[in-house]
Amino acid sequence: MRYIKRALVIIGIQSAFAVGLSVIDAFTLPEPIASPVVNLHPLARFLFLIDGYFICFLLGLIPFGLVYLLTRVRGLRFIFKGGVVRSLVAFNIVLSILIYLIVPIDRILPSQRSVLGVLLTILILMLLLVGYVGLAIFVGWVADRLGGRLKVVLGSVIMTLGLFMVAMGFVMRGVYELVPLQRGDDLSPNVIIISVDTLRKDHLSCYGYEGCKTPNIDEFAGKSVVFENCIAPAPGTTPSMASMLTGSYPTVHGCRHFPLIPINEDIKILSQILKPYGYHTEFYTAHPVLDITRGFSRGFDFYEAYPFTGELQNLLPRRVDNIVLNFLGLINVLGDTARTDWLRDKVAGRLVKLDRYAPFFLWFHFFDPHAPYFPPQEFIPADKDERMRVDSVKYELKKKGYMNCESERGDIVKLYDGEIQYVDHALGELLQVMEEEGFFENTIVVLTADHGEEFWEHNAFGHGHCLYPEVIRIPLMIYLPPSLGCVSGRIYDYVSLVDIAPTILDLLGLPGGEGMEGRSILKLMESCESGPDDDNTGVSDYALFSEFLLYPFRGEGLDGEKKGIYEGNYHLIYDFNSGEKELYDLDSDPGELMDISKEDEDTTDRLYSELMEWYETNLQIVEELAPQREMEMSEEEKEMMRGMGYVIDVGE
């Protein structure tokens, strides 16, 4: 009986700490938080959080027990002074501080990743400790005056109350999983958007590439409308994906990842537009820049990002990284394929539950094949011996810096293609789940990318710095269910990611596209029903634009900005910094290797005038929107960006 009482006391202490941390999170975490708790009263948020914290503190008993055993060793008794209860309380305080400092969750209060956030977190926990000590003293004072039995009764009540709240947390989670947040018209089509980071159109076998095989994407393309000429509005993830969701170009929505600027608060994203019409909305991302601070969680009932803001090897000293992680082979576990595995498992788990929500909008974003390129060896497109050789140099290439390895381009491309094949494999499993759950019967599915990757076609590597086709030309496939015609085929007319949001709204027959710069491409898709025609020729009669303003210099004016316009069979690029104009004939030079701006000055001047007129119009739109503000990026976030190959120190 004595051991049962001791166990109950220990469990009661753990539940008390779980209650304390859950109270803090219920009022300080922004909506939606990392767990699917949104649009709920703080009490409901508290109940949803407490079970997780309780399990965390129960697991904390394991290291506590090991450390406590050390107190039996002579000379180490100073580690814990006092009884087990006091020692456990002290250990839990340390554990709480570690949880708040390590777990990367942004709060309404300053992020704990900043110096101010760390100090504020410690202050909150210290106040919690003071409150706990004060309560303990008060209860002890009362108990001493009213008798030992009452002390036992009060302690039992506190423990019982804590355990009751933990139990209610488990019940809350179970009920929440059974009851949907909202239910709309079951006949309305669902919408799924699948975006793949850094995916070049011309590295997919369904677009004619022979360097790697993507059978699952090919199969999906076979029953979809495939767009041969889709243009990304920007060469970087955040502005490009923001354009996809808003139907606006980067100048208007304003979203950047460095400097950190969120989507303009006056502009609604697709999830916000769909929610009033009964759509349940969820978003899962393996890329850390598509986060709450940049506005990508707006309007989503469920939002979750890959749980680590930075990979462990980017946080460890370089010597430890080189020797320990490489020697033990842990980078494969900690590297980017872990993001793909996490996203695949997360989305697969949610897909089997989404039939409870009708209709729904689901968006999930793969991080691969973004650098660094660490595909599993079996997915590298080569024979066995070559695969082993290429796999053996992947860490060395990353350490040297890909931009310094042009002579090893062949190996780098094989690693990049290996990541594409791995994503295709993961995506195939998700498409299979969608098939088994019957989603293709009444779901619009969009498969696309944010941008591509340059492998020295224009004497540079990577993305985010140019508007050439290897970075701007991306895949786009749209599947329409039988209820919407189930058309398939290929479209050669030029389209843009800004066309996605207005097209989805048009397909659903919903308003909300007013003011969007994109257009619905539904009529283009419907043209596939009658087969190819003379109008489907691969030129752009409708002007499309792209903008490079990912890493603007901090000087005056528009240093570092480039903008491009596609019209007819021409592409014009204008550099605001140098004033240089480049013109390419897409018909005779699809790779954009021969600048003909000097030879065709009339076309150059005409397109330049249209580009500047469009830009001036956008600036007038921006003046009517809420002013944008640059947000501070923590040093940890900057280091994470550098680890992914981003140049974020320009102008600092």
CATH of the domain at 335: 3.40.720.10
Residue 278 structural domain = 190-643
Residue 393: per-residue pLDDT:
87
| Whether the Cβ atoms of residue 434 and residue 351 lie closer than 8 Å to each other | yes
> pLDDT per residue over 377-386, tens digit each?
899 998 888 9
Cα-to-chain-centroid distance, residue 344: 13
Residues 170 and 202 in one domain: no
Q: Which residues, in sequence order, are CB contacts of 398 under 8 Å at separation 6+?
A: 371, 372, 373, 374
- Higher per-residue confidence, 547 vs 307: 547
Give the helix/strand (H/E) hosting 477: strand 473-479
In angstroms, rounded to a whole number, what is the distance separating the alpha carbons of residues 375 and 182?
40
In angstroms, rounded to a whole number, what is the distance separating the alpha carbons of residues 43 and 123?
23
Q: Is residue 648 part of a domain?
A: no
Residue 425 exposure: Cα atoms within 13 Å on the Cβ side: 17
Q: Is residue 629 part of a domain?
A: yes
Residue 204: per-residue pLDDT:
96
* pLDDT, averaged across the chain: 77
Residue 30: per-residue pLDDT:
53
Residues 173 and 199 in one domain: no
| Whether the Cβ atoms of residue 561 and residue 573 lie closer than 8 Å to each other | no
Least confident stretch, 123-127, 449-453, 555-559, 581-585: 555-559
* Other Cβ atoms within 10 Å of 109 Cβ, number: 16
Residue 294: per-residue pLDDT:
85
> pLDDT per residue over 411-435, tens digit each?
999 999 999 999 999 999 999 999 9
Distances from the Cα of 154 to the Cα of 13, 87, 132, 164, angstroms? 14, 21, 15, 15
Q: Is residue 185 part of a domain?
A: no
CA quadruple 603, 605, 606, 610: dihedral sign: positive
Residue 486 exposure: Cα atoms within 13 Å on the Cβ side: 7
Give the helix/strand (H/E) hosting 397: helix 394-400
Q: What is the mean pLDDT of residues 56-68?
A: 76
Residues 210 and 292 in one domain: yes
In angstroms, rounded to a whole number, what is the distance separating the alpha carbons of residues 285 and 303?
8
| Whether the Cβ atoms of residue 251 and residue 152 lie closer than 8 Å to each other | no
Domain boundary among 150, 178, 206: 178
Residues 256 and 124 in one domain: no
Residues 309 and 386 in one domain: yes
Q: Is residue 103 part of a domain?
A: yes
Which residues is 230 bridged to in the sheet?
A: 474, 495
- Higher per-residue confidence, 299 vs 548: 299
Residues 163 and 224 in one domain: no
Q: Which residues of 613-652 are buried (b: 16+ CB within 10 A; e: fewer)?
A: ebbeebeebbeeeeebeeeebbebbbebbebbbbebeeee
Residue 3: per-residue pLDDT:
64
* Other Cβ atoms within 10 Å of 548 Cβ, number: 26
| Whether the Cβ atoms of residue 441 and residue 462 lie closer than 8 Å to each other | no
Q: Is residue 652 part of a domain?
A: no
Residues 203 and 174 in one domain: no
Q: Give the dihedral of Cα atoms 492, 234, 363, 45; nearest 10 deg.
A: -170
- Higher per-residue confidence, 619 vs 91: 619
Residue 182: per-residue pLDDT:
41
Residues 147 and 229 in one domain: no
Domains in the chain, number: 2
Work out whether strand 280-285 and strand 302-305 pair parallel, antiparallel, or are unpaired.
parallel
Residues 217 and 167 in one domain: no
pLDDT at 601 over 70: yes
In angstroms, rounded to a whole number, what is the distance separating the alpha carbons of residues 627 and 571?
32
Q: Is residue 603 part of a domain?
A: yes
Q: Is residue 651 part of a domain?
A: no
| Whether the Cβ atoms of residue 242 and residue 253 lie closer than 8 Å to each other | yes
User: Do you know the residue count of the chain?
Assistant: 652
In angstroms, rounded to a whole number, what is the distance separating the alpha carbons of residues 470 and 458?
9
pLDDT at 453 over 80: yes
- Higher per-residue confidence, 531 vs 134: 134
Q: Which residues of 358-375 are buried (b: 16+ CB within 10 A; e: fewer)?
A: bbbbbbbbbbbbbbbbbb
Which residues is 443 bridged to in the sheet?
A: 190
Domain boundary among 157, 178, 199: 178
Q: Is residue 57 part of a domain?
A: yes
Q: Tell me the Cα Rg of the chain.
A: 28
Cα-to-chain-centroid distance, residue 534: 40
Percent of the chain's residues with pLDDT above 90? 36
**Helix (H), strand (E) counts: the chain:** 23, 16
Q: Give Dmax over CA atoms of the chain in angstroms.
A: 100
Domain boundary among 111, 144, 178: 178
* 229: nearest Cα among 542, 11, 510: 542
- Higher per-residue confidence, 649 vs 156: 156
Residues 154 and 235 in one domain: no
Residue 550: per-residue pLDDT:
47
Q: What is the mean pLDDT of residues 605-632?
A: 88
In angstroms, rounded to a whole number, what is the distance separating the alpha carbons of residues 611 and 605?
10
Residues 340 and 262 in one domain: yes
Q: What is the mean pLDDT of residues 253-268?
A: 85
Q: 361: helix, coil or strand?
A: strand
pLDDT at 170 over 70: no
Residue 532: per-residue pLDDT:
47
Least confident stretch, 84-88, 197-201, 381-385: 84-88
Least confident stretch, 261-265, 290-294, 319-323, 582-586: 319-323
Residues 49 and 195 in one domain: no
